[in-house]
Amino acid sequence: MTDHATIYEVGPRDGLQMAKATMPTATKLRWIDAMAAAGVAHMEVGSFVSPRHVPQMADTADVVGHTVAIAGLETIALVPNETGARLAYAAGCRSLVIPVSVSETHSRSNINKGTYEQVAEVARLVAWLRAQDEPVLVETACATAFGCSFEGAVPERRVVEVATALLQAGADRVSLADTVGYAAPNAIRSLVRATRAAAGGAFQKLHLHDTMGLGLANVLAGLDVDVRHFDASLAGLGGCPFAPGASGNIVTEDLVFLLESMGLRTGIDLEALVATRAFLREGLAGEPLHGSVGRAGIPRTFRAAA
């Protein structure tokens, strides 16, 4: 086991897109600043989508303009199509995530395109990005890789085929997303092995949800098969607005506690990170905040990894 793990904070995008209220931009920026100061070095700060459908993301260009100036922070944005990619590039974002649903039904519900129509969109998007002056890192996230609330089980073979097609379309990386939180540890280990066999080092990361209470158990399963990159959301906010029953992401604070307790360095100051929950209480009054560390506090026995 390596002695470090990398956490990608997705709260400002995945977390806020499901919130009932819209966090004021000024509060959002102070929250992001505080998380970066706590040691969060990779952050998905928003998505370039229609503000009519996801009004919480209407300020993404302004947020990107602010965050790209934060030293040591990788600013990441989600884009569903070439239009979003053009807007992200113009705003200064140089790390993009493109969601591609392995489930055909979820794909049409989410972006009104079939799975392989979206793969073709990725190819067009990548071709445009490669023609620009500055390099852009393109990650494609295989959504519903471990199950779908519309279709149920998603065949492992189909996930691998979609991941392979995305790399052939020009993506730099491919990740696996348990969009609705149906995965169990055995499925994590099996699909990671199968995807890595096809994608090699282009596969790095898991995006996990805690719908069935197995989020951190699935992190452990990922660690078993040498995954060291994980998405998480402060206070477990988030979900998918186009997948019925999808609840929040795994809790960043709890993930830091788990990894550091196991001797894996994250570079994140847990006490400082927990303190940033105050911005959620300020900007999302009444929104439920999740997490065992946030509820119980950091135990006196906790020691960060050396």
Average pLDDT over residues 170-185: 96
- The alpha helices in the chain, defined as continuous H runs, are 25-37, 60-67, 82-91, 104-111, 115-130, 156-168, 185-199, 215-224, 252-261, 270-275, 277-283, 292-296
Q: Please give the structure tokens belonging to residue 257.
A: 């506690």
Residue 253 to residue 11: CA distance in whole angstroms: 12
Average pLDDT, the chain: 95
Round to the nearest angstrom and report the end-to-end CA distance of the chain: 15
Q: Active site residue: 93, 142, 148, 240, which one?
A: 240
Does pTM surpass 0.85?
yes
Tokens of 49: 């989508």
Q: What is the rounded average pLDDT of the residues 99-128?
A: 93
For 98, phi then psi, to 5°, come to -115, 120
What's the pLDDT tens digit per position in 194-251?
Answer: 999 999 999 999 999 999 999 999 999 999 999 999 999 999 998 766 555 556 899 9
For the record, the structure tokens of 196 come out as 């890595």
Residue tagged 């189909």 (tokens):
158
Rounded average pLDDT over 31-48 = 98
Confidence check: pLDDT of 57 > 70 = yes
pLDDT average, residue stretch 25-48: 98
- Domains (range + CATH), the chain: 6-291 (3.20.20.70)
Six-digit token pair at 153? Answer: 């089980």
Q: Any catalytic annotation for residue 93? A: no
